[in-house]
Amino acid sequence: MRLYHVHGACLSSYKAFFSFRTLSSFPSWMNPCGSIVVKLQVSYISANALTLPGVDSGLDSSCTKGNLVDGEVGVAGLVSPWRSLVAQEKFAEPKEVEKVVITPVKKELGLAFKGNQKMVVEALETMNEKEAMGMKAALESKGEAEFEVCTLDNPKVLIKKNMVSISKEIKKEHQRVFTPSVIEPSFGIGRIIYCLYEHSFYMRPSKAGDEQLNVFRFPPLVAPIKCIVFPLVQNQKYEEVAKKISKSLTAAGISNKKDITGTSIGKRYARTDELGVPFAVTVDSTTSVTIRERDTKEQVRVNVDEVAAVVKDVSEGRITWADVLQKYPAHVSASADE
């Protein structure tokens, strides 16, 4: 098995055509996709089996069909040299292992398959042990065996006993060579964050229905800001309560922000939703406040001293928002739906 770099591959479709043991051509839908690099593990790939749709004029003639050297893969006009990414593990003592040895008889295969000899030889040499022993049994009992070479226009061929030798031999090995089960080990945090954005973003209409509002549906556990606290109106007493709640949230380890601007409450809710903040605490009295949940826009009324505990439990998954709705009285506000 070999590991290839394929530049410009379409991530949504590469698995489909690389599921074959060999390739006859690259599909016509393949187009350059920027600097995407996909590592693919395939049994082998024939140099003469590649068709490069839309080859760019920037490539010289050595990169066209029939002229790629073995170990190179070209996709949509881009060619990348094969790099072996195998690892070795040395044994403390040499080990005797039984190996299947496949020896194609190139003279007989050349007479039978002429210009296709190389592709048949490559296909025979890359058989796994089960395929090889199955062919050996068929050759010994019938003198011939059907074999599939996917790189040929007519993939089914007939292999006769004089065309290949298959045997098992005892060999000494000093190390184990293997391909690590790792794909794209340099996978960066930027792509993970992008996927989080992609799966969390949606739009919903405003209450008036005249515009679409952006919302990031971040789960509370991963939301960078768990809660925003703001007074309903600009009032010194309400602002003091907001500061007290913010300090208690910080002490509980809950990331939060205060918003004491004079903007309308509906716009502040919309701004909070656009940042992906799951909970908004609105101070409208000195003893109790409302907690609004971002996605349902439902609100409950909670005592000031309980706010930090409620937000912490929901954010860390100990309780759900449904549990909060059952425990605390609901609060209905027209501004919550703006």
Here the CATH number for the domain that contains residue 132 is 3.30.720.200
250 and 308 share one domain: yes
Residue 255's pLDDT is 96
Q: Of the candidates 36, 65, 81, which is a domain's last residue?
A: 81
CA distance 78 to 64: 10
Residue 55's pLDDT is 32
Residue 64's pLDDT is 33
Number of domains in the chain: 3
164 and 226 share one domain: no
Residue 83's pLDDT is 55
Q: Of the candidates 55, 81, 107, which is a domain's last residue?
A: 81
> Contact at 8 Å (CB) between 155 and 149?
yes
159 and 237 share one domain: no
H-helix or E-strand spanning residue 272: helix 265-274
Residue 250 neighbours by CB under 8 Å, 6+ apart: 256
CA distance 275 to 222: 13
pTM of the complete model: 0.47
How many degrees, rounded to 5, is the angle at CA 30 between CA 29 and CA 35? 150
Helices 236-251 and 307-315, packing angle to 10 deg? 40
Residue 44's pLDDT is 34
Residue 187's pLDDT is 66
Residue 182 neighbours by CB under 8 Å, 6+ apart: none
CA distance 137 to 144: 10
329 and 213 share one domain: yes
Residues of the chain with pLDDT under 50: 1-82
Residue 207's pLDDT is 83
| CATH number of domain containing 325 | 3.40.50.800
Q: Of the candidates 51, 81, 111, which is a domain's last residue?
A: 81
27 and 144 share one domain: no
